[in-house]
Amino acid sequence: MLKNIAVMVSGGGTNLQALIDAQERGELCSGRIALVISGKEGAYALERAKKAGIPTLVIPRKAYAAQEEFDRAILDAWREARIDLVVLAGYLSILSAHVTRAYRDRIINVHPSLIPSFCGAGFYGLKVHEAALDHGVKVTGATVHIVNEVPDGGRILLQKAVEVRDGDTPQTLQKRVMEEAEWLLLPQAAEMMCRELPPLYE
C-alpha cells in the first residue's frame, strides 16, 4: 500500500523537484507525493508541484493570529489528505511541538550540514554554509533527520559528506551540497521511511 507524502516548502523547490524526479524514475516507489504545502504565496515550488499534477495548498504563518490556529490548519490539511509521511524541503517555519508530537517519527527534514555541526535554531540556508566556511572545515555535507521538538535535534537517518574546496563561497558550497548530497539523500530517506512506517490511516 502506497504511503501518502506531504512536502512542505517555502521557496524554489529544488528538493521537491528531486523527490518528484525520484518518484518518476521509480526510485521513490513505496510512497507518492499527495500534497505540497507552501508557507508563502508565489513560491516557485508550487509551480513545480502543479506541473507534476500534485495538489497544492498555501498556509502562511502570518495569516493566523495564534500559533494554535496555524497548527490546526497544518494538521487538518495533513489529515484530510491522509498523510503518512511529511517531508520538510526548504520549509522555513518551525513546526511547534504540538505538530511534531501529533506526527511523531513521521516528519523528516534535510539539513545542509553534517549534524551536529552548524545546526539548530538560526542555522538555515546560506547561514549554514557561511558558518562552515568561517570555521575552515574541509568537509561538510547534508543530513536527513527525524523532526522533533528540538530544531535539528531528531534521530539521524542518512548523511553524506561533501568536500569544501579552496575559493568556495557560501553560494558555490550550497550548490555542491544540494547536488551531491541533499538531492540524493532526501528521496532515499523518503523511500526508506515509506517502506518502514505502518500506514497511519486504514
**Catalytic center residues:** 111
User: Distance of CA 183 to CAs 79, 82, 129, Å?
Assistant: 27, 25, 17
Q: Any residues with CB less than 8 A from the CB of 79 and at least 6 apart, and which?
A: none
3-state SS string over 17-78? Answer: HHHHHHHHHCCCCCEEEEEEEECCCCCHHHHHHHHCCCCEEECCHHHCCCHHHHHHHHHHHH
Rounded distance between C-alpha atoms, residue 49 and residue 71, angstroms: 23
- Are the C-beta atoms of residues 124 and 92 closer than 8 Å to each other? yes
φ, ψ for residue 180, nearest 5 deg: -95, -15
Q: Which residues pair with 146 in a beta bridge?
A: 108
Tell me the one-letter amino acid at 182.
Answer: E
